[in-house]
Every structure is written in structure tokens, then in C-alpha cells.
Homo-oligomer: A and B are copies of this chain.
């Protein structure tokens, strides 16, 4: 029983072939069955229906069945907004990333979605990079109780984040009562740089972005600088604020600045790839003249050649910790202030 439909052919320079359909909305709107309808059909009160719906309180078996039968007949499905209004829960978690078109973010998003689903939450995805207003409106989303909690991967600064908000961050310090999950940035970076030196590199560099807020990621540079200092080696580091998507020009910039490096730790797979490409195109031989280690090690599941030597973040554990702490905080349970997940060093062909 399709509603009123008008079809006709449509032609335009933009589309190759189209069929145009006029679609008539039916009736007006909600012929959707409500809890009231179910109650009436089952010959019970709304309270009873609610009780079988939520399996709360006592309802006799025959009544349960009658109610279930009625729900089926009416194709009843509880209204989510109404329930939220009453319970003050949306079962929605916001995931704030600069962009999802990025191997690290889409990989961790995948993990988070799966884990949160098991906890009964849906994921609301917000990619905040392309607009400043969007970044700022993020907080209002939390306040608006559109969501029960949020995970922050973004770099923006927010002065007015209440410690009560059920927020967890990856790498960023947003406040004293906001759990922060992070990798062992310092330790693993330190080891990576030392590895380069042990492989004979004399002019070791560092290339990475810089977050707009206090972030665990800065420990990567710090580790690099510490190694340089302790050995009296010259610094060749670049760490400025750079937007995702601008990796190529940023890599080029570094390459122009320090053309002589023979070993480098690059923060982020995409940046590492960009730098690799830049260097190779300029005639550098990897790993003979130039050794590269990437921090993240996520993209390389998809990367045929060369396999990259990288500090690989443990996404599974990171995601697990994030969800755990978030759920704890949402439910008012004790939670960890900071959790550091060890990453692993993966040898590839770039060193």
C-alpha cells in the first residue's frame, strides 16, 4: 500500500540518470501507538504496561503476556524522547574528534562504538575541526543533556567545563576531575629516539603537531628533547599547531628546515607518511639515509610497503579504559584520574 506517488523522468547535466518521485506524506503524523493504546487494548492501566516494559515491579504472568501481545499487535515501540525526559538519560555518548577521516580516530571510534554499544549507549559523532563555533558549541551539547557523557579527542580549550560533567579525554588535560586516558608517550618516545641513535643516526629530528591545550602528547617532544640534551645532540624539532589535513605542507616545511636529518620520530601516521613521501621524492633513501619512526602505528594495517617502524598505541586497551572510566563517572562511581596504557614498538622497514 504505497502512498500517493508521482514518478517522472528527470534530466540534468549534473546527474547521469534520475527518476523523480513526488512523495505524499500520509495522514498528518503520529498514528504511532503509545503506551496508552497498549493499555487499552490489553485492558490494563498504563502503569502496568510500563512495568512489563521495564520489567520493574510485580506483574502477573497472564497480564504480562496480554500486554506483550497488545504491544506486538500495535507495533508499539517506546518513545525515546519521552523516556529521556522522565529519566534524564539519553543513552547517548558524544565522541568529539577533530576529524573522523584519520586512521587513528576512525580506528579508536570503531573500538569505542563497539564497547559503548555493549553498555547500552549509542555514539554521537562530532567532528569539530572545520569550525570554531562548532568546537565551542560542543560544551552546550553536554550541558543540554543531549547526551549522558562525552569523550574528547579535540584540542580546543574550554574554560567552563564543570568537573561534574561525565567527560573523559584522550591525552588532554581538561581539568582535575576529568579522567584522562593516554599512552605512555614519554617512555615510548624516549625509547624510540634512543633506538634511532643506536641504529647509528647522528642527526635526529622530531616532527609533530602541538595541541592547543595541555596534553600528554607534548611528552613526546619532551622525551625527544631530553634525549638530545642528555647526549648533547643538536635539536631538530618542529611542533606547531597544525590542522589535520595539512600534513603535507607541514611535512614539507620540516623537510625544508632540516634537510639533513638521518633519523626522525614523527608524531602521527599521516604526518609520518607525508614526511616519508616528501623525503623519498626528494631523493632520500629510506632507511639507508633516513630512518623514520611513526607514532600511532594504526594506519599501517592498511599499508603494504614500506611497513613502518612505529610506536603502536594499544587502541583496544585505550578504548576499554575510556569506556570504563566514562561509565564509572556517569554512574557516580569512583574513577581513575589518569590512566596510562603502554604502547608497543613495532619494527618495520623504515629503520
Contacts and interface: CB of A to CB of B under 8 A. Distances in A.
> Which of A80, A187, A270, A336 counts the most B-chain CB atoms under 10 A from its CB?
A80
Interface of A: 2-3, 5, 7, 10, 15-26, 29-30, 32, 75, 77-82, 84-85, 88, 90, 92, 95, 99-103, 105-107, 109-110, 113-114, 117, 122-127, 130-131, 134, 140-141, 143-146, 163-164, 176-177, 184, 187, 269-270, 273, 276-277, 280, 299, 302-306, 329, 332, 334-342
Contact of A336 (B21, B30, B82, B107): B21
> Which of A125, A270, A303 counts the most B-chain CB atoms under 10 A from its CB?
A125
A100 B102 CA distance: 11
Given A15-B340, A25-B332, A304-B280, A125 B123 contact: yes
Given A81-B81, A122-B126, A336 B101 contact: no
Given A110-B101, A125-B124, A305-B305, A334 B77 contact: no
Contacts of A90: 80-81
B20 A78 contact: no
20 contacts: A2-B163, A5-B177, A10-B336, A15-B341, A18-B336, A18-B339, A20-B334, A21-B335, A25-B164, A26-B164, A78-B144, A106-B109, A113-B125, A122-B141, A123-B125, A269-B302, A273-B302, A276-B304, A277-B304, A280-B304
B15 A145 contact: no
B177 A20 contact: no
Given A100-B100, A176-B2, A16 B335 contact: no
> Which of A25, A131, A299, A302 counts the most B-chain CB atoms under 10 A from its CB?
A302
A20 B342 contact: no
Contacts of A5: 177
Contact of A81 (B145, B302, B335): B145
B340 A17 contact: yes
A166 to B, nearest CB: 10
Contacts of A20: 334, 336-337
Contact of A337 (B2, B19, B29): B19
B127 A124 contact: no
